[in-house]
């Protein structure tokens, strides 16, 4: 059951993966300054090492969680999929550790129900990375306990047998953003940028996600944290525009206004307010 160390309501912008098999790296990941750290029991751990990684994480958790709390970092666990032999043991360990939020890979309605049966009060971040999951996207977004949707672009490419994460995935980007909005969830989390050490590629990848409506990004290396935060922050021009809109709307006291030669109605004002909120 989730306790006082709950999944944050101020939605993280950055989710940094770190292997569960390397507890020493978890502390370093927390210190790197992401908004959230996802301790990974799935892809980052070889099959023969799953049990040892789970045991090592359980031993280290009592020390790691206070460090994350002190740093203001949400500490999550990605479990193995519901179709694996490790799923139940992973969730049992998460319950014993008091994990506040679990990242569920290959999320679909049956997997969500299986997780809910074992962890009825734990928040779920549903990782959409298969065609089957997207086929049930609306049900996943509205499932009990789901707090946010994550875009597993790399696994989805493999499932669809496409080699380009650009245009071939644009439909899925729009779909997950729209489903999140319709379900009242925060803007979803974009997939990883695999170009470690390439700041320009990371900035472009993050900016593309922001244009589609994503509000955060999955990361695979600590050096990606500053670049993602910078790319998701409103530009100076956008902030200046938002302040003009909000200030002039307040001064007009409900009367119609135009800013920079364009009419300002409620959707425009709402967008300006969101930009100012993002900057904070």
193 and 222 housed in the same domain: yes
Is residue 122's pLDDT more than 90? Answer: yes
Indicate the length of the chain as a whole number: 280
Q: Which residues are annotated binding-site positions? A: 78, 129, 155
Strands 189-190 and 216-219, how do they pair? Answer: parallel
Average pLDDT over residues 57-66: 95
More confident residue, 278 or 193: 193
Query: Is 1 part of any domain?
Result: no
Annotated binding-site positions for substrate = 78, 129
User: Domain containing 269: what range?
Assistant: 236-278
Instruction: Examine the domain organization and report whether 181 and 273 are in the same domain.
Output: no
Say if residue 245's pLDDT is above 60: yes
Q: What is the pLDDT of residue 7?
A: 57
Residue 35, CA distances (Å) to 106, 147, 229 in order: 23, 16, 10
| pLDDT for position 258 | 83
Contact 57, 39 (CB under 8 A): yes
Residue 264, domain member (yes or no): yes
Domain count, the chain: 2
Q: Distances in Å between the alpha carbon of 109 and those of 125, 137, 153, 185? A: 13, 9, 19, 17
The pLDDT value recorded for residue 10 is 65
Which residues make up each annotated binding site for Mg(2+)?
129, 155
270 and 192 share a domain?
A: no
């Amino acid at each position: 059951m989730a306790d006082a160390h709950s999944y944050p309501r101020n939605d993280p912008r950055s989710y940094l993966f770190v292997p569960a098999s390397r507890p020493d790296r978890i502390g370093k990941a927390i210190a790197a300054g992401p908004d959230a750290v996802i301790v990974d029991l799935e892809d980052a751990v070889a099959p023969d090492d799953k049990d040892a990684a789970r045991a090592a994480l359980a031993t280290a958790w009592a020390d790691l969680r206070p460090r994350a709390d002190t740093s203001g970092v949400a500490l999550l666990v990605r479990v193995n999929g519901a179709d694996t032999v490790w799923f139940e043991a992973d969730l049992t360990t998460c319950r014993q550790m008091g994990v506040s939020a679990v990242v569920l890979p290959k999320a679909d309605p049956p997997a969500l129900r299986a997780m809910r049966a074992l962890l009825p009060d734990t928040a779920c971040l549903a990782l959409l990375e298969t065609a089957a999951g997207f086929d049930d996207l609306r049900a996943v977004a509205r499932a009990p306990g789901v707090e946010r949707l994550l875009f597993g672009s790399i696994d989805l490419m493999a499932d669809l047998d496409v080699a380009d994460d650009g245009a071939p995935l644009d439909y899925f980007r729009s779909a997950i953003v729209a489903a999140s909005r319709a379900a009242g969830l925060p803007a979803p989390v974009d997939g990883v940028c695999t170009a470690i050490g390439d700041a320009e590629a990371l900035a472009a990848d993050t900016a593309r996600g922001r244009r589609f409506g994503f509000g955060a990004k999955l990361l695979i290396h600590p050096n990606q944290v500053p670049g993602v935060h910078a790319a998701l922050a409103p530009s100076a021009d956008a902030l200046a525009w938002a302040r003009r809109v909000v200030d002039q709307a307040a001064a007009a006291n409900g009367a119609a206004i135009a800013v920079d030669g364009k009419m300002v109605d409620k959707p425009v004002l709402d967008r300006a307010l969101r930009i100012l909120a993002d900057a904070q």
